[in-house]
A and B are shown apart, each in its own frame.
Chain A
């Protein structure tokens, strides 16, 4: 258990409304990631963070922003949600204690978002 929680776990919202998803970790890991998972696409990286206030874009970052003001929290914001952002969102961390590297990622339980 990598100590990752996500909130909310389920959310229904309307097109055009802002949405913020939270990822919280308890083990002081440096790297945190946000993915979305859609049928036929596997997991696609949205944004990731390599430290407090240090973030970078992934392959599907349009329409999303992130913030990391504390080591333990990584927030994903949809400024104006669209139906194409209906998806399952997973947060992940790179776990360095067990493997000695940042290569293995461990995932949170996911947030299921429906944009109507």
Chain B
């Protein structure tokens, strides 16, 4: 059974700090890993990773995948209060049209 585990489940930091969110997975025939940000409403897409060692970057957010160790990290530098959200990680295996999600990390940025 495919499985995704995120850590920590909850994190509280001060504005300006850098945070690292973790996502480990067990999936047969891995195809891709996706990160989403969820504020008060629907999850919004951040990144899709398919290859090891290639960093995806968008502003202060970046993510990288390690297919050997079966994990991904999401980094956020110079955090702002608007980064407060639940961050979700999901994986997809080859030939499947379904995503398996982790429990999410609730990130709170205090001013």
Interface size on B, residues (CB 8 A): 22
> Does A64 count as interface, using CB distance less than 8 angstroms?
no
> Does A99 count as interface, using CB distance less than 8 angstroms?
yes
CB within 8 Å: A-B pair count: 51
Q: Is the CB of A42 within 8 A of B103?
A: yes
Q: Which residues of B contact A103 (CB under 8 A)?
A: 31-32, 34, 48, 92
6 A-B pairs with the lowest CB-CB distances in the bound complex, closest first? A107-B42, A42-B101, A43-B101, A42-B103, A42-B104, A107-B43
For chain A, the bracket of interface size reads 20 to 34
Stretch at the interface among A11-19, A44-52, A66-74, A75-83: A44-52
Q: Is the CB of B92 within 8 A of A90?
A: no
Q: Which residue from chain A places its CB closest to the CB of B40 in the assembled complex?
A: A110
Query: A99 contacts which of B48, B100, B101 (Cβ < 8 Å)?
Result: B48
In the complex, what's the smallest C-beta–C-beta distance from A106 to chain B, in angstroms?
6
State A79–B100 Cα separation when bound (angstroms).
Answer: 25
State A33–B4 Cα separation when bound (angstroms).
Answer: 19
Q: Is the CB of A110 within 8 A of B48?
A: no
